[in-house]
Chain A
């Protein structure tokens, strides 16, 4: 259940940024989460519901942008979508592949309310 740690980190960063901008509230939090980032979407969404409570982001709408993992083959240079870590190249069957997308764990943007 490391998703709760992740959710608390998100709120900590949002809180810090709100203070930096003298915001009175947060209306939206936009997250980029890669499908191979090690995050279970349901667990994170549940953890976020709890984490925002009592924080400056209590009323914020949270947007989850799940990014489909894409790997590139180091042998034949083809890019292909992958749903797991077993990223064998579908074009040449090489195992020598690496992820180019899908590990994201990022706060893309936040909408701050200021007076």
Chain B
């Protein structure tokens, strides 16, 4: 059965570049291939508790104390990605948000602004379509689109496969735009340098109260669409106070990707990561 949608078929994850109508790679069930290093410690306490009275077939039950993290495979692969990024001096950012917060618009503006100063590349995650990848390509950055089918998040293996096809440049910034979802992506480390949660003022200032996990795991919170703030009931200070209760270390940048107000703070934050 498929691990992401439970459909009874193999996963239908595709990796495509803009203009590509063929499917570059079909993700079949080979999750284990890259992680067969078996780093976990087997605590073999074979206490042969002959629970089943010794009758005919001499069947034994024994307990294996695994104490193993369920997400250990993802975490191991995420660390490999992280090591690759470090070795290549790449800053990788995992951008998470609800659908429609303006992640792609912010990326378009960012790519245009830092063109010539910093190399960028983008991994786009969506359930369907090449729409976002096409927008990013127009903005001028190499991009690969992961379509997760029914999957609700990206994982480290998807990023590992996608980045191999991107031919990342040394010293570049890699933006990984996660599937629009404030819940599931929080659990899956991709190997990113920093995690950025994006929220738009139209979503309401109680988002961190409703979806604390995402704010707890993020390093930076970008508050987008500030040009719309006068038209909606959005209390920026209340949002910050709530988010800080969940994560006292969270940083904030308010901006409007549309009007570019505050965009320089975001660009400066990116530039500081490259130092």
Contact = CB atoms under 8 A, between A and B. Distances in A.
Tell which of A1, A17, A47 has the most Cβ of chain B within 10 Å.
A1
A84 B63 contact: no
B61 A4 contact: no
Interface stretch (B52-60, B231-239, B264-272): B52-60
B71 A6 contact: yes
Interface string B133-162: 000000000000000000111010000000
B60 A108 contact: no
B64 A109 contact: yes
B245 A110 contact: no
Contacts, number: 115
Interface residues of A, number: 40
Given A13-B70, A105-B71, A110-B66, A115 B60 contact: yes
A53 interface: yes
Contact of B187 (A2, A12, A87): A2
Interface in A5-52: 5-6, 8-10, 12-13, 16-17, 21, 24, 27, 31, 38, 47, 50-51
Interface of B: 1-6, 31-32, 57-74, 151-153, 155, 183-184, 186-188, 209, 212-213, 215-216, 244-248
14 contacts: A2-B184, A8-B2, A9-B71, A10-B70, A13-B68, A21-B62, A38-B213, A85-B213, A86-B212, A96-B248, A105-B71, A106-B69, A111-B64, A112-B64
